[in-house]
Structure 1
Amino acid sequence: MTISEFLRLGLAIIFAFAGIAKLAGPASFRATMRSFLRRERSVRAASWLVPALEIAAAALLLWPVRWFGEGLTVLLASGFAAVAGIALARKERIECHCFGKAIPQTLGVPTLLLAGMLALSSAYLLYDGSGRSPLKASPADAGAAILIWVGLFAIVALLRAMFRSMRSESHP
């Protein structure tokens, strides 16, 4: 499995999980959208459109029209980075719900770094333009890559929880 296939598979997992988690608990993501959008109609539309686009991007990363999924993930991740940057600039404490209720987080530097990493990974894939679909990798390679991505995701979630716990203990 090439680095491009590995990145493509990881981005597909991340965006699929994010979209599904948002749709599973739409009220929490809608609350996040209210922090940035003024009209309720826009909030409702974005609350369904963003997760639908994330799921579509995840699927497109795995099929022959990968460039469309790569471009869509660049746009989504860049938008995510912009939202995190705006929240930081305004010094607002906004609950993100980027992964629904599954992984609670506040928009901040870690969120901005994650979004930047996703955008850069997507841009690399779009620029590279090579590599097969991860669906064409051997079952052993695909299985190992999935386990690595799930493990990395779990480690990040545990580190966030640990840092959040340490912060709450030091600031009673």
Structure 2
Amino acid sequence: MTVYDVVNAAVRIAAAALFFYAGAEKLAAPRSFRSTLTALRIPWMVPVSIGVPLVELAAAFALLSVPRSWLTVALVVGLGAAFAFAGALAMARGTRVKCACFGQVDAGLLGPRQIVLLPVWAGVGALAFWTPDRSPTGPGVTVAVVLALAGFTALKVVAVTRKNREYMRAMVPK
């Protein structure tokens, strides 16, 4: 394996992990994403609030399973363009819109960050398209990334559960 092979695989796996996590968070807790869409005055909010996370999940799967596909490039670059459009829309309207990029986790604001990241998403799409034949792809890589994210999510849930339990103990008089 060359350095390019390793960098290509690392970038695709990292981008896929971000898309998996972002899509799953938006589907698991849609309220914060819907409030972002409402603040942006996006029409057809419910279909968009379901469609965007599903497209993110599809892009993640495509990056890991069929990276050399034009569909993969279109999904990745299309999502990057949609994110940039949301940032530009918030800036053009002069409104402070909370970003729900990663569901409730992201507390940043929509704006220049999304616009600046558009070339990065285009680069991820280009890297995916020029994935070497010997680069790791396929269901095995997809399953490994999903399992790693499931483990990360489980650890997050355990931490939140502990925090809630401690809070409840403090609230109950002895």
TM-score where L is the length of structure 2: 0.67
The root-mean-square deviation of aligned C-alpha atoms, in Å, is 2.8
Residue 123 of structure 1 deviates from its aligned partner by 3.6
Contact 2:15 2:60 in 1 (8 A): yes
For residues 45 and 114 of structure 1, the distance between their equivalents in structure 2, rounded to whole angstroms, comes to 25
Residue 91 of structure 1 deviates from its aligned partner by 2.0
Q: Does 1:119 align with 2:131?
A: no
Q: Does 1:20 align with 2:24?
A: yes
* 2:30 alignment partner AA: P
Which residue is equivalent to 1:64?
66
The 10-residue stretch of structure 1 (80-89 or 111-120) with the greater mean CA deviation from structure 2: 111-120
The superposition leaves residues 2-41 of structure 1 with CA deviations (integer Å, 9 ceiling, x where unpaired) of 32222211110111111011111101101111123454xx
In the comparison of the two structures, how many residue pairs are matched? 139
% same residue: 33
Q: Does 1:50 align with 2:23?
A: no
Q: Which has the larger radius of gyration?
A: 2
For residues 23 and 134 of structure 1, the distance between their equivalents in structure 2, rounded to whole angstroms, comes to 28
For residues 58 and 92 of structure 2, the distance between their equivalents in structure 1, rounded to whole angstroms, comes to 31
**Compared CA separation, residues 119 and 35, structure 1 to 2 (3 A):** farther
**Compared CA separation, residues 16 and 81, structure 1 to 2 (3 A):** same
The superposition leaves residues 94-113 of structure 1 with CA deviations (integer Å, 9 ceiling, x where unpaired) of 01111100222111222332
Contact 2:67 2:137 in 1 (8 A): no
**Compared CA separation, residues 56 and 110, structure 1 to 2 (3 A):** same
Which residue is equivalent to 2:15?
11
For residues 65 and 119 of structure 1, the distance between their equivalents in structure 2, rounded to whole angstroms, comes to 13
For residues 132 and 79 of structure 1, the distance between their equivalents in structure 2, rounded to whole angstroms, comes to 32
For residues 62 and 135 of structure 1, the distance between their equivalents in structure 2, rounded to whole angstroms, comes to 5
Which residue is equivalent to 2:164?
none
Q: Secondary structure at 2:106's aligned position in 1?
A: coil
Pairing 1:19-38 to 2, within 5 Å after superposition:
19-37=23-41
* 1:93 alignment partner AA: R
Q: 1:107 aligns with which of 110, 116, 122?
A: 110
